[in-house]
Amino acid sequence: YILLTFIIVLQACRSTIKVYSEHDRKIDFSQYKTFDFYEIKEEHLSLKEVNRRRLAMAIELELGMKGIKRNVNDPDLLVNLYSFINRKERVSSTESSSGLGYYGAASPYGTSIGVSVSPPRSYSSYYTKGTVTLHLVDRKKNTLVLEGMAEVDASEADDADRIINYAVKKIFKPIPYAK
């Protein structure tokens, strides 16, 4: 039972976040030793301040474990971030149904026949979809070397640290860890 519960919990966690990552396969990431962030403009990053800091710290930690340290003076790579928060509506509906039945066969009042008809119903719920896009750019060549995107149902995102760390780790997966 414990293993089954663990598998169900993992599946549930995985369904709330989707992470995509693409990189230039010709790039030798071992040539990069430093990074910094592009100037992050408020209108490009619609995250709460605490989540911006979490995201920056997760990026710095993950790249650091891969041997790429932050250097604001002369970085090899620049990290560019964008985020969007959208409120969406999820609509589901039921079809109309009808039925024919009778009751009272053993009743002293006789037998009755009834027809029931129920109209179609629709249900709507609202959720918040958050998307963060991350670009890793070779500063000297001004070329994109890695692009990643994470989508999360933010209305279910109770553990922002776990979600942000998971997304950053998945986005930077193509970069090998430092030896």
Express each pLDDT in 11-29 by its tens digit: 444 447 889 899 888 889 9
pTM of the model: 0.68
Sign of CA dihedral 174, 177, 178, 179: negative
CA nearest neighbour of 137 among 81, 80, 176, 83? 80
Read off the tokens for 148.
Answer: 């990643």
Q: Which residue type occupies 111? A: T
Q: How far apart are CA 143 and CA 135, in angstroms?
A: 10
Nearest 5°: CA angle at 154, between 148 and 159?
90
φ, ψ of residue 155 to 5 degrees: the values are -70, -15
pLDDT digits 0-9 by tens, 61-103: 999 999 999 999 999 999 998 877 776 666 676 665 655 555 5
Q: What is the token pair recorded at 28?
A: 């030798």
Structure tokens at 4: 């089954």
